[in-house]
A and B are shown apart, each in its own frame.
Chain A
Amino acid sequence: MSGFTPASSMPVFVHRSRRGAELVLLILALAVGIGAYAAVGLGVQEKIPVDIAGYGTWLVALLVAAHIGVRLLAPYADPVLLPLVAMLNGFGLAVIHRLDLAAGASESDAFARQQLIWMTIGVVLFLVTLFVVPDHRMLQRFTYTAGLGAVVMLILPMLPLIGKEINGARIWINLGPVSFQPGEVAKVLLVICFAGYLAVHRDALALAGRRFVGIDLPRGRDLGPLLMMWVISLAILVLQRDLGSSLLFYGLFVVTLYVATERKGWIFVGGVLFAGGVFAAISLFSHVRVRVLTWLNPFDYYPDPLNGTSSGQLVEGLFGMAWGGMIGRGFGSGEPWRVPYANSDFIIPAIGEELGLTALLALLLCYGLIVERGLRTAIVARDDFGKLLSVGLATSVALQTFVVVGGVTGLIPLTGLTTPFLSYGGSSLVANWVIVALLLRVSDQSRRPLPTAPSDEDLAAEETQIVKLDKGAMTK
């Protein structure tokens, strides 16, 4: 045998690197991104944007750089993830540009331009992540550091001077000219922390402990540290009135715990606690109550606000999507500016109005594929930490998409979160690029051919060589 010998005697599927496939898909993704940018120009201004060459070149350069980076640093990584993310990011840029045009933004303060800068930073961090983390298992060393880091990140906006409150949520910090949402970084750190902790303690959590009402409760010393850290995060988020992130972190925790312990009881316990938490939040906090009421009866708060509460954003979004219908009005023919914050939380209705149900279903399929590739990575991962890390990262994308898309389409109450890769928002975009880098890293490790155990021939050759050398030495 000239290749490698698997560790066990079972035949093992050998992954190919598939970088060529990735390149082809990337070209398609670029066609969507640059094509959408041209379509916006044609639809809104009736001409191809003058800067399309520069814009296109920049986008191509970024993605080619990312592709080469993957080729060099993670050659066996999943080939579908990068093109999907590139497509979403490029398409989002075009939609943000379209909303800029509607708002009459000038060149310098245009959101699309800023988003392109954030995307550049995102791709750079993507490459840096792949470079400084040659093996994801080294991250497990930082389990507690990551947990502490997450808590610090979450506390930052509460601090005076650098903390900043925007639209009722105190989740921003000022870093010179730019504002940043540390919660997005905390999300990645928390996933690392959960995965690292649970990879070590999963056996203890699953096996040791007492049985109570049919559920195996783990020992306090096993679950305690994790539980404490999680409660601190949630408490901070509740104080900051960041409902979306609270939901996301809670979901991440329950899911990772379930996968680690393989006990469905955790889903049950999580569900019961969630129901209780929601009930308590509705009765305790007026801002939560308002979200539920506007979700149930949006037209009570539109067009005139009731008791100071307006559902204008939600209703205008729904009107926009209904106006778009199956295939949409076309770029430039809709009125997405009627929805406040259309370029961040409400980018989905803006797309639905101008490109219709068809485009939104296609986008949801892309998100679904990202999650699927992430979970697939978890399944083929060879170590517990890698599995839990991929599960956490994939789940974070799934939950974030569900919470924000479900919120703006009236499926669940509205909680503020950005649509991954599409929405305007630097912190979210950069954090999500890092998530993809980590997923690619785990997938590269899992798909890479196993290190070869020396075969008989090799050993024989080695032996012969030794003999030869010995002979040579003896002749001297």
Chain B
Amino acid sequence: MNRPIRTLSVGCLILFVALMLNLTYVQFFKASWYNSRADNRRVTEDAYSQQRGDILVGKKAIATSKPSDDKYEWQRTYPGGKKYAPITGFMSYSYGQSGVERSQNSVLSGKDNKLFTNRLVDLVTNSEPAGGNVELTIDSKVQDAAYEGLTALGDDVQAAAVAIEPSTGRILAMASTPTYNPDRLATHDFGAARKSYDQLSKDDDEPLLNRSIQTALPPGSTFKLVTAAAAMENLGKNPDSKVYGGALLDLPQSDKDLPNESGGSCGGDQITLTRALEVSCNTAFGQLGIDLTKEQQDEQARKFGFGQKYLTDLPNQATSTFTDDLDKLDSPPFRAYSAIGQYNVKATPLQMAMVSAGIANGGTVMKPYIVDRVTSSSLDVIDQGNPTKIDDQPAVSSETAEGLTEMMVSTVENGTAAPAAIPGVTVAGKTGTAQSSKERAPYAWFTSFAPAENPKIAVAVMVQKSGTERSEIAGGRLGGPIAKAMMEAAIS
């Protein structure tokens, strides 16, 4: 009987090897699959109850974990509060994460491969794995100026302000109102968190939205900078070139005329391009739109970042668009309206800041970023954000950039952008007011940079809905002072 017993022992061996292989598959090869499942409570609770890294502005933590005496051990808190909520986002048990909490989750939670050596050390020393810290490019003074400026507009004002460093793309400020208190969503009192979340998500003013990157609206006259750039690049225009400046622009293939905001002419039938920008002349830029081909317009917008996905540091970036369907722009009236930032043109405040920044940077648009450095829990630098260009650079030649700067400076000194003037500093700026429909208030825009000769900061401010009467709305009046404060904060 020994032969079958030997066969049997081989059979038993096969059974045990099968068990071992299957275990290896479950615990080693397929483990990350199990661990990445959203319904795996071990993973979600672990993420929730661990000491995440800090999100820092300068030396100050705007999001941090402090010990709590309940079963989750750590409570995420946001010393940055409402001012930084659009950037930090929140970390909630039931609603996941947003903002930097989400985009940098792997670093903050300590799971990122960049932290591999640290994880190895933690493993050997048997200490709790601690998350890495994320240092932001934000300049707290500029952020303060932006947030104070926006909140001064009133409680129910929907607005956003964003600032970037033109030469690098570092985001210096990013504020959005109305905003929210992330602590209320991060609380371990889940009932209270749910109540807060329901309230916030039902609010018509959409406080959970980061308007500076998640809301794309017609940029109005601020888009004339892009049209001017296209005209200078493709039609050989310069600041002194003569353009049409009449009171009405007769739109071909249509019985409508394009009027100016003021109703009158821009200072004569033929005016300089500089003059056209100073007074934000619709008829002049409408005519340029008709003269440019649709491809030339689209190409110029794309070079400034329209239609591109360039923001990797924050989730849910809305893409700015020049048009949703290029073929429609075969019709000259649509080209004319597009040229003045109406019709289907949509831009986020960040996008308009990038237009200014590109001009300020001699024609090259830098990729905006907000994560400056990633450090381990022991403060070793693990990753460093570095300036890169967005696709298809330069957006304009350095001559065009110089000309545009000259005209924008003139717009602040002699034109509509006067509210942003800073004594002793050359400021370049452009206002914008965009009508979307007769029923709703127009959007007010302002974009600028300073100092013009050596730009340190480019700003865009957008007021989507304000309590002020529509007649009073002008980009300069609402956005100008905020942009000015932000620029002053950066330069001083």
Contact = CB atoms under 8 A, between A and B. Distances in A.
B18 A319 contact: no
A302 B9 CA distance: 38
B16 A367 contact: yes
B201 interface: no
B47 to A, nearest CB: 12
Interface in B137-191: none
Interface stretch (B25-33, B102-110, B213-221, B468-476): B25-33
Nearest to A202: B1
B23 A360 contact: yes
B26 A402 contact: no
Given A259-B8, A391-B8, A409 B35 contact: no
B8 A303 contact: no
Contacts, number: 118
A398 B9 CA distance: 10
B26 A326 contact: no
Given A259-B8, A262-B1, A387-B5, A321 B26 contact: yes
State which size class the interface on A falls in: 35 or more
Interface stretch (B36-44, B273-281, B384-392): B36-44
Interface string B22-66: 111011101111110101111101000000000000000000000
Given A260-B1, A262-B1, A357 B28 contact: yes
B12 A323 contact: no
A375 B16 CA distance: 15
Contacts of B6: 379
Given A322-B27, A361-B23, A406-B19, A375 B4 contact: no
B382 interface: no
A307 B414 CA distance: 75
Interface string A401-443: 1100110011100000000000000000000000000000000
Given A259-B1, A260-B1, A303 B39 contact: yes
A384 interface: yes
* Most central of A320, A338, A368 by chain B CB within 10 Å: A368
Contacts of B8: 255, 258-259, 375, 391, 395
B41 A338 contact: yes
A329 B453 CA distance: 59
Task: Summarize B's interface: helix, strand, loop or mixed.
Answer: helix
B15 interface: yes
B20 interface: yes
B2 interface: yes
Contact of B27 (A255, A302, A357, A379): A357
B438 interface: no
Contact of A411 (B1, B18, B32, B43): B18
Nearest to A376: B9
B18 A406 contact: yes
B202 interface: no
B3 interface: yes
Contacts of B326: none
Interface in A302-360: 302-303, 318-326, 330, 335, 338, 352, 356-357, 360
Interface string A86-110: 0000000000000000000000000
Given A319-B41, A323-B40, A364-B20, 16 more contacts: A259-B5, A262-B4, A323-B35, A325-B31, A326-B27, A335-B42, A356-B27, A367-B16, A379-B6, A387-B1, A391-B5, A401-B19, A402-B18, A406-B18, A409-B22, A410-B22
8 smallest A-B Cβ distances: which pairs? A322-B34, A322-B31, A357-B27, A411-B22, A259-B4, A368-B16, A402-B15, A398-B12
27 contacts: A259-B4, A259-B5, A260-B1, A264-B7, A318-B26, A319-B35, A320-B42, A322-B34, A323-B40, A325-B27, A330-B126, A335-B45, A338-B41, A352-B23, A357-B27, A361-B20, A361-B23, A361-B24, A364-B23, A371-B16, A372-B9, A372-B12, A375-B12, A378-B1, A378-B5, A379-B5, A395-B12
Interface of B: 1-9, 12-13, 15-16, 18-20, 22-24, 26-28, 30-35, 37, 39-43, 45, 126
